Structure 1
Amino acid sequence: MFGVRAMTRFYFPVAIAALLLAFWFSPDAQEIAAGVAIFLFGMMMLEDGFKLFGGGALEKVLKQATNSTTRAVTFGILSTTVLQSSSLVSVITISFLSAGLISLVGGVGIIFGANIGTTTGAWLVAGLGLKVDIAAFAMPMIAISVVMVFQKSKPLRGLGYALAGLGFLFLGIHYMKEGFEAFKDQIDLTRFALSGLLGLFVYSLIGTVATVVMQSSHATMVLILTALAAGQISYENALALAIGANIGTTITAIIGALGANFQGKRLALAHLIFNVTTAAVAIIFISPLRMSVDWISDLIGIAPNDFAMKLAVFHTIFNVIGVLIMLPLLTRLIAFLQARILEPVPDISTPRFLNEAVDEFPQTFEVALRKEVNHLYENAAELILHGLNLHRDQVFASDDIEKLVRRSRSPLEVDIDERYEHRVKSLYAGIVEFSTRVGDKGFAPEIADRIYALRDVATDIVQAVKSIKHLRKNVLRYTVKPQGATTELYDELRTEIARIALEIRKLGLADPESRSALWLDQERAQIEEDARMTSKRVETLIRNGSLSSVAATSFMNDSSYAYGAMRMLIEAARSYYIEREGGRAEVERLLALDDEEINEARGGSAAKPGDSSPGNSVTRSS
């Protein structure tokens, strides 16, 4: 990351100095530079507009479009054709791949298709932009878009940004074309033309550098096409520039992958391999490709001297050939990527799903946060059970929790404070920090509400762990060695918490369609009843001499922590697992117990957890 920043600091003054030198050398260079700048600004507005206007539609389609390689490639072609931005498609794909919403094979397929889709831009510019006064269309589009971006409706604003972006694209093409036309009267750039193999390599390198600088192969292709139409570069050198532009476009995916996980980095490497391989094939077979372009041009009626349209044909041919070459090798490519960029050994103490790549889009933001909250719960559940002197795996495999608890007398060597700091608190800090970004993202209110709800789930989980930390000392004191009624009381608390942890696990493993909030309501009511009954039982034990006042005081404090932990775990499970919308949710809201009913619940009024839980519940101890 330091290297990227250092490169940026170096690049900025060099770029400014180069522009000022070009402006001094020729005033007409200002018009070309302004055209490029306006074009790039238009692309940014177009991308922002589609993000705003799409309302997550593009992301939803992307999730459904990767069930097969053919569908993934087709989606890459169509989405890039519509958006006219392979960069945006690449960023979305990396984001979804990093969030685990699509497979690596699907992501690579989309990148293959995007390389074909990006060639449609060259056809539009060569066939329309250079032959029609598109500046006449640009001005009305920009004027109308300004009115739209000030509307309250998000789709209207998004459409306004997209329209403005399209207008600026047209305007940028116009100024680039005018600038090269003016150059023609002063300087003949064709004097710098290079033929043969040397020209092929030199101009491919120039095309690569230009695309890396502008981070847009579309902008590079427009620059090449306008210069070619003005006669400022030779057709042969224009072909080489187009090849170089294809290599340079990988920089966007590489930059996007810097903040991604290992899957995002694999996709960026696949993009680089694909584009370099395609470029190499185009350079090696440049002569047969030129012959193919001439043949296809004659076939579809392109004039022999219409080199701009021929360049568009060439751009399409070599990208299609690249896909045809790489598709049969896709399995080997995936195997190479997996061997070259290994999946890191999971570190349960650090965020696993939260990275810069997934916070680009609402859906990936929410999915990544949901997975990280589940990661936090897995760590917390282990720590909670270990804090109670129980092995998590044994609890989750048991069909008789009460019996398991009675047998669990050996103390577990666990530093609960150290594990809390490194396996719970660190993750919670990452979740809180990540969720605060939602305020700067402009997400829809309903999405922001769900993200904040997930943050609250994390808070409940952490509070439950803190409560168990308070129990740890007396659990070791009274349950390692049987001490009559006191041990029985603590065993009952351990049993209750372990059983709830087991039921939450079953809830997580259950089919989402079959999950019910009613069990959670019944469980919450039973917890309140048990808390009341525990107080009465302690009073009875003190009166008959089975429990000392000192042990009773300690237990009452500990039971308060224990029941608090149970409440928070139940509430966290409700918020995390139970759907909030739909007919089933509405019915359950009508049937759910309100807080007053829960507080008034008595032993016989609440159903046993086995009646409605997502799996076969163990019998409650009372």
Structure 2
Amino acid sequence: MGADAKARRLGRLALFGLVALAALLLARRDLATLAAGLGLFLWGMSHLEEAIKRLSGGTLDRWLHAATRRPLRAIGVGALATALVQSSSLVTLLALSFVGAGLVALPGAIALLFGANLGTTTGAWLIASLGLRFDLAQYAMPLLALGLLGGRWLKGNQAGIAGALLGIGLLFLGIDFMKLGFAAWQDGLSLEGLAGDRLWHWPLFVLFGVLATVIMQSSHATLLITLAALAGGQLPYLPALAIAIGANIGTTVTAVIGALGGGPPARRLAGAHVIFNLGTACVALGLLVPLAGLVDLLGRLLGLADDAWPLKLALFHSLFNLLGIVLMLPLIPRLAAWLERRIPEPSQRPTAQARYLNPTALTHGDSAVTALEQEYRRLDRRTYHLLCSAILLPSAEVIGHPPTPAAVATPIDPRAWPTVDSRYRERIKPLLAEILDFHARLDVPLTEAQEQRLEELREASLRLVEAVRFGEVLQRSLLHHAGPRDPLRQAHDALRQALAEALNRLASEAPATAIAAPLAAVRRQLQRDLAQRLKAEELSAWQASTLMNDLHQAQRLIAALSEPRAGEPPRESASDAASPT
């Protein structure tokens, strides 16, 4: 009851807060206009981001992935991608999903985030140069109409275009409402007393920028408020620069939140993002006055008016982010190494725990497919090791080098071999359950090739389970006839030798015909011997039928693993597969 009572109190407080806020907005039309503008702007950003995800169909993912091989290229592509999609959050989540799924190395992902920080400054330029100078409402209405109607009538990529138009229309309308709201404050609010002569105010404005960005989850929204207040004369120039610095720090919350459910690689990248933005902010705040002077000098060289404060703020935003990149670029390898030491991989990991299926990998198609491919390879290797147990041979005698007849002829102690079913429930089924659950939770736009690849992986996983079930039946018979004097022991040893060679070739990525060849040869030989042994009464009809059934189970096991093979992911090399995971 205590928890229920607390929840009810919180609910009443929230309701009271909403009622109080509604009363305030009804009493103050200027505040209501500002709030409406901010809400429309954030709503438009959300629509635009979703539309870009749908339109890119994995293209943006592959583009950014390819760029991370070289730091300078990663910075450039990260900046360009963020400038095009106007969402550093999207690029940040992509980078987190890449590094979490093992698609890219940490240094490349760090460089990509550096570029995203630079690219996000283009939003300030667009707002300052266009949003505050033109009447965007007249363009917003047609875009809203096209976006709403197109979203209802169109499908596929065309619906993505309609979503983008709707998002841009909401952005334009939000900017226009923000301008109207600040215009209403023109004579009623002035912060000129907080100009640059009071240095202790600057950290407070930095803190305001951080909090505003964290609350609104958008540095663009914080900069929009700042630029509108600066253009309307409600905010002095130097405090506005300090707010821009704070907005830069606030963008790290996306990386931090995105990394909470991720593994160590994602947490390392989030740490790098925080370190870079905090370091850049400290340098920019310490050099605020010199940087403001440099902005004035560059403004005159670019032909900006002395009172073009919004454009100067945009220039400052770009300048201090560029300064941070110049300072931090040579330190990327050391930063990555330090983070890897500070946030190591867990020393012990549950045997059935997936390594790559973290929530950040679900955000985009390429990272999700890559994560599933890597987990499938782990499932693949575990299945090989379990099937070695099914034929009563240590995996070290099968995978990594051709199996020897001496290892097959070793006396068998049935008590030393756990059942296939118990090992399956311990090592295979939990991992397979995580793979299937991850697949079911994947809800992002996928290309046709990605959908086909996911279907191939799912089918391959089910074939592995099918092979394990055949191995379970086979192991029971092998254990039952494991005695050295058992009439079936010699035939079973030949069958085990053939299966061991087939598993070895599977791990070595041999063609399907080569994999099936040892078993086919043994099957022909045993069928000839079977007739002779029946005539000589060395085997009973019951024992002969048992051997035929075992041959059939072995054939079905190898067929499940080797057919079809065209769509399956690359097999591990023999050396990789030699050690179980």
Structure 2 counterpart of 1:290, which letter? A
Structure 1 counterpart of 2:416, which letter? E
Alpha-carbon distance change, 548 to 196 in structure 1, aligned in 2, over 3 angstroms: farther
Alpha-carbon offset, residue 190 of structure 1? 5.3
User: Where do residues 179-578 of structure 1 align in structure 2 (5 Å cutoff)?
Assistant: 179-188=181-190, 196-345=198-347, 346-407=349-410, 409=412, 413-416=416-419, 417-438=421-442, 440-479=443-482, 481-483=483-485, 485-507=487-509, 519-520=511-512, 534=526, 537-571=529-563, 573-577=565-569
Q: Kindly provide the CA deviation profile for residues 197-248 of structure 1, in whole angstroms up to 9, marking residues without a partner as x.
A: 3211111111101100111111111111011111122212211111111111
Q: Distance in 1 between the 2:532 and 2:356 partners?
A: 51
User: Which region of structure 1 is more displaced relative to structure 2, 414-423 or 401-410?
Assistant: 401-410
Q: Percent identity?
A: 36
Q: Kindly provide the CA deviation profile for residues 238-286 of structure 1, in whole angstroms up to 9, marking residues without a partner as x.
A: 1111111111110111111123221111111100010011111111121
User: Where do residues 138-153 of structure 1 align in structure 2 (5 Å cutoff)?
Assistant: 138-150=140-152
Give the match for residue 3 of structure 2.
Answer: none
Q: Distance in 2 between the 1:241 and 1:307 partners?
A: 14
Q: Distance in 1 between the 2:366 and 2:131 partners?
A: 36
Structure 1 counterpart of 2:360, which letter? A
Alpha-carbon distance change, 151 to 407 in structure 1, aligned in 2, over 3 angstroms: farther
Q: Distance in 1 between the 2:15 and 2:370 partners?
A: 40
Q: Distance in 2 between the 1:561 and 1:12 partners?
A: 65
Give the match for residue 602 of structure 1.
Answer: none
> Secondary structure in 2 aligned to 1:163?
helix
Alpha-carbon distance change, 458 to 567 in structure 1, aligned in 2, over 3 angstroms: same
Structure 2 counterpart of 1:576, which letter? E
Q: Kindly provide the CA deviation profile for residues 136-166 of structure 1, in whole angstroms up to 9, marking residues without a partner as x.
A: 2222222233344356553322222222222
Q: Kindly provide the CA deviation profile for residues 294-330 of structure 1, in whole angstroms up to 9, marking residues without a partner as x.
A: 1111221211112111111111111111111111211
Q: Kindly provide the CA deviation profile for residues 315-354 of structure 1, in whole angstroms up to 9, marking residues without a partner as x.
A: 1111111111111211221111101111224543111211
TM-score computed with the length of structure 1 as normaliser: 0.84
Contact kept? 1:401, 1:498, Cα under 8 Å:
no
> Secondary structure in 1 aligned to 2:568?
helix
Alpha-carbon distance change, 395 to 422 in structure 1, aligned in 2, over 3 angstroms: same
Give the match for residue 94 of structure 1.
Answer: 96
Alpha-carbon distance change, 335 to 18 in structure 1, aligned in 2, over 3 angstroms: farther
Matching of residue 43 in structure 1 with residue 45 in structure 2:
yes
Give the match for residue 23 of structure 1.
Answer: 25
Q: Distance in 2 between the 1:408 and 1:401 partners?
A: 14
Q: Distance in 1 between the 2:521 and 2:154 partners?
A: 50
Q: Quote the RMSD (CA, aligned, Å).
A: 2.8
Q: Distance in 1 between the 2:255 and 2:241 partners?
A: 23
Contact kept? 1:389, 1:410, Cα under 8 Å:
no
User: Which region of structure 1 is more displaced relative to structure 2, 376-385 or 9-18?
Assistant: 9-18
Give the match for residue 81 of structure 2.
Answer: 79
Q: Distance in 2 between the 1:572 and 1:491 partners?
A: 28
Q: Distance in 2 between the 1:335 and 1:570 partners?
A: 41
Q: Distance in 2 between the 1:466 and 1:390 partners?
A: 17
Alpha-carbon offset, residue 469 of structure 1? 2.1
* Unaligned ranges ≥5, structure 1: 1-5, 508-514, 580-613, 616-622
Alpha-carbon offset, residue 432 of structure 1? 1.5
Structure 1 counterpart of 2:547, which letter? F
> Secondary structure in 2 aligned to 1:397?
coil
User: Where do residues 101-140 of structure 1 align in structure 2 (5 Å cutoff)?
Assistant: 101-140=103-142
Matching of residue 64 in structure 1 with residue 56 in structure 2:
no
Structure 2 counterpart of 1:311, which letter? L
> Secondary structure in 2 aligned to 1:196?
coil
Greater RCO, 1 or 2 (C-alpha within 8 Å, sep 6+): 2
Give the match for residue 588 of structure 1.
Answer: none
| Count of residue pairs brought into register by the alignment | 562
Contact kept? 2:26, 2:32, Cα under 8 Å:
no
* Unaligned ranges ≥5, structure 2: 1-6, 575-581
Q: Distance in 1 between the 2:15 and 2:233 partners?
A: 31
Give the match for residue 607 of structure 1.
Answer: none
Structure 1 counterpart of 2:317, which letter? H
Q: Distance in 2 between the 1:528 and 1:140 partners?
A: 71
Contact kept? 1:37, 1:172, Cα under 8 Å:
yes
